[in-house]
Amino acid sequence: MTEKIYAGTPVSCNDEGYLNDLEQWNREVGADIASEENIEMSERHWEVITFLQNQYRNEIPLTIRKVGKSGVVTIKEFYSLFPGGPLKKASRIAGIPKPVSCI
Amino acid sequence: MKMRNLLILGAGTSGTMMANHLRKKLKKNDWNITIVDKDETHYYQPGFLFLPFDIYKPKQVKKSIDKFIPKGVKLIREKIDRIDKDLDLVYLQDGSKLHYDILIIATGVDIQPEEVEGLKGDEWYKSIFDFYTYEGAKQLRDKLRKWEGGKLVVHICEMPIKCPVAPLEFAFLADSYFINKGMREKVDISYVTPMDAAFTKPIAAKELGHLLKEKNIKLIPNFNIESVDSDHNKIIDYGGAEVEYDLLVTVPTNMGDPMIERSGIGDDLNYVPTDKATLQTKIKDNIFAIGDATNIPASKAGSVAHFESEILTENILRYIEGEALKSSFDGHANCFVETGHGKAILIDFNYTHEPVTGTFPLPGVGPLRLLKESHMNHMGKLAFRWIYWNMLIKGKHIPFVSAEMATAGKDIDKVETIVDKKIKETTTIH
């Protein structure tokens, strides 16, 4: 458990840099984390982030397949918005836990 | 009292076990038990791993379904159309319908190669194979017998899959197979997975990752396949990364039975939403589910189904008596992982405890060693085929191995701190 400064305020993170508490998140915090991932946020990015946060609040487990079928973003676009590991990076920017693929 | 009906859908590993357990427990004067399956053959699915390498012969992995359905259980050989949960009815394809008081869904999963563009095209069973079906494993055996070498890519399309260690075992066995044929230097083996390591559980992933390196198998993680370009022999991921192959052995997307979708009761992979501790579905109180068909965050494996069957039997008896269900399924899985050259690793784990080192099943004695390669473990894996046909699916209890995972004899203290930390970070995701 570490504390990091994002958007000028201390935020509690785990060892992999994921927020421990979504309550400490705001857009500025998200944008700061995004810049660490070399991503510049656009409105399109935020739409995806909002979707992920809503899923998390409703306790719906996230997978790439589910994001692709959501109608919010295609898998292809998801990859182009968050290159590399889209679900891992987007989850970190969204302030929600790292998704773990099942057993 | 009126006769009541217990209906089981699917006569695979789980359904057959439940038929055997319940016929012994439910009075024949009170309960009819019916089981429905369209197939005639019961396959020993763990054997599909050995078929391609000529270790098992086809006849060792198949028997008639009828042979394992006990007396007093009615077997209906027909395709299932759908479940009507509101009317407590199951419709069969021939138009007939079955009424049930209690329903057990045990329809398993199957591969769906159509889910990935280009996978099931002209090259299917020519340069692209699966080994999760009897047909695929046999076709792959014929291919390997005459293959002259090149790039072998062992690949997982997406998680979850049945028996998540099987593709790793396939890669290990391929290494031994080509060494024994004196052609290992002509074969380049890669292991391509959507996960970020060789296995889902961190400690086992580390141990298994070492073995990949030792055997000169290249690990390519975080690869989420978008399509197969079979004209140019390559697989392409959503991020644009490409891996070339001469022989692609893939595990296609695993999905629950299309009947689940037709019934409108599944998730996006046709898995049935099920309580992970009681095995009662979230669909309706009188519908239970077991084995690969459920969405519970446990491995999709025969050992898991075996442990589940003991708990589900008890819960069905409790449900009939109007008692509270026992919330005791802990996700227990127990798997032999073939590592090649006559050795295997044994892993034993559940929802909260990762596979660790130690002895099994007798604490401090063994004879099997957990998470360590040994010849004894390999013999255990081979002996398991006999146990499967003669004890497991007949619903006989396996001595010393309980449904709930034991921690005695395991080196849990050493890793507890790491594991606790990992669990805290983990949300159970499917």
Q: Which CATH number belongs to the domain containing residue B168 in this structure? A: 3.50.50.60
Q: Cα angle vertex B8, ends B6, B13, to 5°?
A: 140
Lowest mean pLDDT of B38-52, B112-126, B255-269, B411-425, name the range.
Answer: B411-425
Say if B67 falls within a structural domain: yes
The answer, yes or no, to whether residue B164 has pLDDT greater than 70, is yes
Say if B328 falls within a structural domain: no
Average pLDDT for B32-36 = 98
Taking an 8 Å cut-off on Cβ atoms, the answer to whether B428 and A100 are in contact is yes
**Residue-range definition of the domain harbouring residue A49:** 2-94
Say if B142 falls within a structural domain: yes
DSSP-based three-state secondary structure for B272 = strand
Query: Quick one: tokens of B145?
Result: 């017998």
Chain B residues in contact with A78 (beta carbon < 8 A): 238
Say if B327 falls within a structural domain: no
- How confident is the model at residue B422, as a pLDDT? 40
- How confident is the model at residue B414, as a pLDDT? 53
The rounded distance, in Å, linking the Cα atoms of B277 and B293 is: 15
The answer, yes or no, to whether residue B204 has pLDDT greater than 80, is yes
Q: A35 to chain B nearest CA, in Å?
A: 19
Q: Which residues of chain A have pLDDT under 50?
A: 102-103
Taking an 8 Å cut-off on Cβ atoms, the answer to whether B160 and A102 are in contact is yes
Lowest mean pLDDT of B15-29, B129-143, B391-405, name the range.
Answer: B391-405
Last residue of a domain, one of B232, B253, B274: B253
Last residue of a domain, one of B294, B321, B348: B321
Domain count, chain A: 1
- How confident is the model at residue B424, as a pLDDT? 36
Say if A35 falls within a structural domain: yes
Indicate whether B242 and B203 sit together in one domain: yes
Whether the Cβ atoms of residue B38 and residue B77 lie closer than 8 Å to each other: yes
The answer, yes or no, to whether residue B207 has pLDDT greater than 90, is no
Indicate whether B245 and B294 sit together in one domain: no
Last residue of a domain, one of B253, B268, B283: B253
The answer, yes or no, to whether residue B236 has pLDDT greater than 80, is yes
Indicate whether B64 and B132 sit together in one domain: no
Say if A44 falls within a structural domain: yes
The 10s digit of each residue's pLDDT in B110-161 is: 999 999 999 999 999 999 999 999 999 999 999 999 999 999 999 999 989 9
Say if B16 falls within a structural domain: yes
Whether the Cβ atoms of residue B323 and residue B310 lie closer than 8 Å to each other: no
Say if B74 falls within a structural domain: yes
Q: Cα angle vertex B120, ends B234, B188, to 5°?
A: 35
The answer, yes or no, to whether residue B311 has pLDDT greater than 50, is yes
Average pLDDT for B4-12 = 98
Indicate whether B138 and B162 sit together in one domain: yes
Known catalytic residues of A are: 102
Cβ-Cβ contacts under 8 Å for A71 (sequence gap 6 or more) = none
Say if A99 falls within a structural domain: no
Chain A residues in contact with B221 (beta carbon < 8 A): none
**Residue-range definition of the domain harbouring residue B166:** 118-253
Domain count, chain B: 3
Say if A78 falls within a structural domain: yes
- How confident is the model at residue B265, as a pLDDT? 96
The 10s digit of each residue's pLDDT in B294-310 is: 999 899 999 999 999 99
Say if A100 falls within a structural domain: no
- How confident is the model at residue B367, as a pLDDT? 82
Indicate whether B299 and B232 sit together in one domain: no
Q: Which candidate from B224, B238, B425 shows the least CB-CB separation from A14? A: B425
* pLDDT above 90 coverage of chain B, percent: 75
Taking an 8 Å cut-off on Cβ atoms, the answer to whether A75 and B195 are in contact is no
